[in-house]
Amino acid sequence: MSEIKKVVLAYSGGLDTSVIVKWLQETYNCEVVTFTADLGQGEEVEPARAKAEALGVKEIYIEDLREEFVRDFVFPMFRANTVYEGEYLLGTSIARPLIAKRLIEIANETGADAISHGATGKGNDQVRFELGAYALKPGVKVIAPWREWDLNSRDKLMAYCEEHGIAVDFAKQGKKSPYSMDANLLHISYEGGVLEDPWTASEDDMWRWSVSPEAAPDTPTFIELTYQKGDIVAIDDKPMSPATVLEYLNKVGGANGIGRLDIVENRFVGMKSRGCYETPGGTIMLRAHRAIESITLDREAAHLKDELMPRYAKVIYNGFWWSEERKMLQQMIDYSQRNVNGKVRLKLYKGNVEVVGRSSPDSLFDESIATFEDDAGAYDQQDAAGFIKLNALRMRIAAGKGRNLLDD
């Protein structure tokens, strides 16, 4: 008899996770608790309740986590200007630690012995879910059906549904996107289908949130973002909650053709993967945050952040959000944001985000020193001569000793 009596499953209500419910019940002879999170994916999550009930599930968790997601995960990540491999804004990666956290919390609440997820054995998500789970509950049992069963094709999944009486919305299945998609308030990702050939262009009708830059309006849109300690708190002087900020930026960004990305990335598990990402709000946030930092951060603090950012990005991408190193980096990042306050004015036009203004009560920009006009003695240009000579000293000494760099 299985030692597993109760399992908490991250349940989307779709085909794969519905099959997993029945497979867990049969394989482990256990009770299944389903957890469905609304992270702003744009689809109703409540229908998952009826589907779970039809599968005999008694304990069903359906939760709106949009505000927590943006406040406690997306915003902290954007304080660091986080980008993985120079382009990817980590839309999928940053959602996984929150789901892992709730899986463990629900397991503790319900007395479950294990958690389960629908991630495949080829991707990063299995790593992210499980690293988070083990960090928060070291002895938890993790069941990953895609690493155990032989239902490795869509035909086999459909046959399993028919054999076990699992209801499938065939009309919806017939219209199913040819892509493997993940969506939340930060982005939509697209993989698979024609995208498996990195030479093949994405199809125009694939994109869900944005128009193409060519089809965007011929007149620009101007918006003004207000920052407090590195986070956006208002748009056009209207106070907004974190989730509302991102919802609004997705809408206005998508309408202006902003946020499309087509990349080949290096997965943590070792393979290269081609994916397309749609991140309108995040693209705007990254540009605006760098703009407000440009006038409020000390030079060396800003440069240190930029040096550490790729490490921070890799920590998140690889699934180590719930780690000591991420917490250490986050404390440094958050400390740097104490004076990142003020406003940024942006021009959105045909796929571009242009900074056209920035102001802050904590600005380090001193016009009296930076001016090209008469600075009334605010900056003594004679000081530059000694500054340059001191910085050249080591090179002057080396050249004087016969080290001619032109010979190398």
pLDDT confidence of residue 407: 76
pLDDT confidence of residue 303: 98
Q: How far is CA 379 from CA 147, 365, 368, 382, in A?
A: 66, 14, 9, 9
pLDDT averaged per 10 residues in sequence order, the chain, 408 residues: 88 92 95 97 89 95 98 98 97 97 98 96 95 97 94 86 80 60 95 94 94 97 98 98 98 98 95 96 98 98 98 98 98 98 98 98 93 86 94 94 84
pTM exceeding 0.85 = yes
What domains can be seen in the chain, in order of their start residue? 6-80+92-176 (3.40.50.620), 182-297+339-358 (3.90.1260.10)
CA 156 to chain centroid, in Å, comes to: 32
What is the Cα–Cα distance from 166 to 156, expressed in whole angstroms? 13
pLDDT confidence of residue 44: 84
Which residue in this structure is represented by tokens 């990349």?
Answer: 263
Which residue in this structure is represented by tokens 């032989």?
Answer: 150
Phi, psi of 271 (to 5 degrees): -90, 160
pLDDT confidence of residue 331: 98
Q: Which residues carry out catalysis? A: 16, 96, 125, 180
> String of b and e for 93-109 (b: at least 16 CB within 10 Å)?
bbbbbbbbbbbbebbee
